[in-house]
Amino acid sequence: MKRQFQYLAMLIVIIALLTACGGETYKPLPINEDTDKCAICNMAIKDDQYATQIVTKDGQSFKFDDLGDMHVWMERNGTDTIGAAFVRDYHSREWIRYEKAYYVYDPSITTPMAYGVVSFEKEEDAEAFISQMGTGKLMTADDLKNHTWQSTGGHGA
């Protein structure tokens, strides 16, 4: 009886450990302004609302100074190796999941590489941003896949 109990306890411990190992383990790394550069355009990355990041399945982290450059990376390298992608909330500057964020595009929005897309955690914040600007297009991560990414210098020139 006692031995059976021991087995049971051990089984519970093992199951608990295995569960801990699985699931979501991709964590975004903080931005170090002194050393981090954009994996695409080589520019120094500012620890601001425009920074984005991809963590690959094998644990590498690629950081970008602009959402547009992260998209360039996805085009070049495909999305199969991506464990998780992160963007920043425009206001709080906290990392949020790329798939769950809301996006606003307008050519007049200034971003580091002039792609003109900013990200928000809450849909209402994105809508408020659009009404405040008087222009802008609300998008989800799925919409971004069909977005024509253009780095134009911000003024449609």
Partner 1 sequence: MAANNSKKVRLILLLALMLSCQPVGQVLAEPSSDLSLQAVIDEAMPGETIILPAGTYTGPITIKRSIMIKAEQAGTVTLRGDGEQSAVTIQAAGTILSGISIEDETFKESPSVLVTADGVRLENLYIRTGTHGIAVREADDGTVTGTIIDWAPQGIRLADKGNGIDLLDAHRWQITGNTIRDVHDAIYLENSDDAIVTDNVVENSRYGIHTMFSKRTIIEDNIGRMNVTGAMVMTAEHSSVRANTFVKQSENVNSQGILLYDAHEIVVQDNIVEGNRVGIYVEQSTGNRLEGNRLNRNFIGLQLVDASDNEINGNLFIGNVTDAQARGSGQNLITDNYWDSFEGIDADGDGKSDIAYAINPFFASVAQKRPAFQLFFHSPGMVFLEGLFQAGRESWSKDLLPLMAPPASGRETEQDDLSRHLVGWTGFVLLGCTSSLIYMMRRRKV
Binding residues for partner 1 (CB under 8 A): 33-35, 37, 41-44, 46-47, 114, 151-155, 157
Residues 6+ positions from 70 with CB-CB distance below 8 Å:
40, 52, 53, 54, 62, 64, 85, 87
Closest approach, Cβ 134 to partner 1, in A, equals 19
Closest approach, Cβ 108 to partner 1, in A, equals 12
Q: Toward partner 1, which CB reaches closer, 112 or 136?
A: 112
Q: Toward partner 1, which CB reaches closer, 34 or 80?
A: 34
Closest approach, Cβ 23 to partner 1, in A, equals 26
Q: Toward partner 1, which CB reaches closer, 57 or 100?
A: 57
Residue 126 near residue 153, CB atoms below 8 Å: no
Task: Give the separation between CA 148 and CA 12, rounded to whole angstroms.
Answer: 51
Q: Toward partner 1, which CB reaches closer, 116 or 126?
A: 116
Q: Toward partner 1, which CB reaches closer, 59 or 143?
A: 59
Task: Give the separation between CA 90 and CA 38, rounded to whole angstroms.
Answer: 19
Closest approach, Cβ 41 to partner 1, in A, equals 6
Upper half-sphere CA count for residue 144 (Cβ side, 13 Å): 24
Closest approach, Cβ 48 to partner 1, in A, equals 8
**b/e sequence 18-28, b meaning 16+ C-beta within 10 Å:** eeeeeeeebeb
